[in-house]
Amino acid sequence: VRPLPPKATHQQTKTYNQQLVLKAIFDHGQISRAEVARMTELTRVTVSEIVADLLKKGLVAEVGRGPSAGGKSPILLSVVEDAYHLIGVDLANDEFRGAVVNLRGDLVHSLSLPLLNQGEAALEQVYELVDALIARTAQPLLGIGIGTPGLLDTDRGIIRQAVNLGWKDLPLGSLLQARFHLPVYLANDSQVTALAEQIFGAGKGELNLVVVKVGRGIGAGIVLNGQLHQGDGFGAGEIGHIAIDPAGEPCRCGNNGCVETVASTRAIARRARALAGAHPESLLNRLAPDPAMLTIEEVLQAYAAGDSLARQVALEAGRALGFAIATLVSVLNAHRILLVGSVTRFGQPWLEAVCAEVRRCSLAVLAQETEIDFGDLGANAVILGASALLLTRELGLSLMR
């Protein structure tokens, strides 16, 4: 017999409703107590008590008076966006990036450090980055959020494996907690990106949302019923390693023909290098001194200039991604899917290739009812996502029932 789920307590009800009131104020910018009561269906007395507590904590302030609805004009409440600052860190690229972020998701200060090392030395760089960020703000800190590629254990704060950084079973959460005496949350870069879009971006407020990050790596972040779905081993969304072509290129994961080997930036550059020679008319041959040196940047440049080989390569990659997204559609049936990451720079024609393949490879009625679009947080998505992870865990801002 499995253990029972935990009992429910009246304290949980209170905490939930406190978070609900904070969310109402957060979502609406400026709002009166009466309006909060109407929207939450809590009594005015309950709302006033909760608001008094939020005022005391400095999370909310009275910011003026709204239009009168007959009687006295009501006092408007607003979240104090600098009441707490958050440290958001993105370990996802060739450089470590971080920012001091306010409660609205504005980047108050940003920093980046080129990634010079691996292993222990890379860890020192993380410390250095967080030290430098903390020095930039005098506000109380809510904590530290980290987004990083690889497989992580969010509950225990452990990086199980981050190949690029040479980390294996690194207890990054407790190391940072011990050093900075702050709550620390970490999750996979694709997963936090989904939270970023759900809290601050194009997926704001969606109950079910899938965000697919397509850059050097490919992964999906999955929000179901308002909560990040990470799976039993925190590996949910690893669609970049669905092997779609057994005879395909070897993948860094050890299998062959994974989605990443045909749809990532590296795959696109490799494919362009392989084909350029046989297409002397292609602009690709004039953008790099040697076709063997072509990078994703030249492919994007040729694509923008209308080069047909660059287009062919990009759309092929889009179709491979489309197949992976068809599996997401078939498994999850979430009506909103957002694409983010550097490959989205191929824009509308690439997106159309993705969508056409989704339609070809999943049940028509499911594909038709799925809206696939670009996310809108750009290069800061992981920093904002790491901050969103912290916000949801500490303040319950994505609370759902």
Positions in 106-165 near a second copy (CB under 8 A) = 151, 160-161
Burial 65-100 (b: 16+ CB within 10 A, else e): ebeeeeeeebebbbbbbbbbbbbbbbbbbeebbbbb
Which of these segments, 73-81, 118-126, 128-136, 248-256, binds a second copy (CB under 8 A)? 248-256
- Among 91, 142, 144, 236, the residue binding a second copy under the rule CB under 8 A is 236
Could you tell me the two tokens for 305? 């200039």
Is there binding between residue 241 and a second copy (CB under 8 A)?
A: yes
Q: Vertex 110, ends 214 and 116: CA angle to 5°?
A: 70
- Among 349, 369, 373, 378, the residue binding a second copy under the rule CB under 8 A is 369
Is there binding between residue 255 and a second copy (CB under 8 A)?
A: yes
Is there binding between residue 365 and a second copy (CB under 8 A)?
A: yes
CB of 343 to a second copy, least distance (A): 19
Is there binding between residue 34 and a second copy (CB under 8 A)?
A: no
Residue 34 or 366: which CB sits closer to a second copy? Answer: 366
CB of 264 to a second copy, least distance (A): 15
Is there binding between residue 169 and a second copy (CB under 8 A)?
A: no
Residue 272 or 326: which CB sits closer to a second copy? Answer: 326
CB of 42 to a second copy, least distance (A): 5
Amino acid (one-letter) located at 333: N
Query: In this structure, what are the phi and psi dihedrals at residue 233, rounded to the nearest 5 degrees?
Result: -115, 20
CB of 212 to a second copy, least distance (A): 11
In 200-307, alpha helices (H) = 260-263, 265-276, 284-287, 296-304
CB of 12 to a second copy, least distance (A): 7
- Among 71, 246, 289, 306, the residue binding a second copy under the rule CB under 8 A is 246
- Among 243, 301, 356, 394, the residue binding a second copy under the rule CB under 8 A is 243
Q: Vertex 232, ends 229 and 235: CA angle to 5°?
A: 65
CA distances from 21 to 49, 206, 244, 381, 401 (A): 11, 18, 47, 26, 14
Tell me, what DSSP letter sits at residue 72? Answer: S
Is there binding between residue 226 and a second copy (CB under 8 A)?
A: yes
Can you name the residues that pair with 273 across neighbouring β-strands? none
Is there binding between residue 363 and a second copy (CB under 8 A)?
A: yes
Is there binding between residue 166 and a second copy (CB under 8 A)?
A: no
Residues 40-59 that bind a second copy (CB under 8 A): 40-42
How far apart CA 4 and CA 2 sit, in angstroms, is 6
- Among 166, 183, 235, 248, the residue binding a second copy under the rule CB under 8 A is 235
Residues 280-339 that bind a second copy (CB under 8 A): 326-328, 330-335
Return the closest-CA partner of residue 213 out of 187, 231, 189.
Answer: 189
How far apart CA 197 and CA 387 sit, in angstroms, is 12
Which of these segments, 23-31, 129-137, 261-269, 386-394, binds a second copy (CB under 8 A)? 23-31
Could you tell me the two tokens for 358? 């989704």
Which of these segments, 139-147, 200-208, 282-290, 375-383, binds a second copy (CB under 8 A)? 200-208
Residue 173 Cα to chain centre, angstroms = 19
Q: How many residues does the chain have?
A: 401
CB of 112 to a second copy, least distance (A): 29
CB of 74 to a second copy, least distance (A): 18
- Among 111, 126, 211, 220, the residue binding a second copy under the rule CB under 8 A is 220
Residue 157 or 257: which CB sits closer to a second copy? Answer: 257
Which of these segments, 59-67, 172-180, 219-227, 378-386, binds a second copy (CB under 8 A)? 219-227
Helix (H, G, I), strand (E, B) or coil at 109: strand
Return the closest-CA partner of residue 82 out of 55, 103, 52, 68.
Answer: 103
Which of these segments, 14-22, 56-64, 177-185, 373-381, binds a second copy (CB under 8 A)? 14-22
Residue 118 or 333: which CB sits closer to a second copy? Answer: 333
How far apart CA 310 and CA 345 sit, in angstroms, is 13
What's the sign of the alpha-carbon dihedral 169, 250, 215, 298? positive
Tell me, what DSSP letter sits at residue 239? Answer: G
How far apart CA 54 and CA 28 sit, in angstroms, is 16
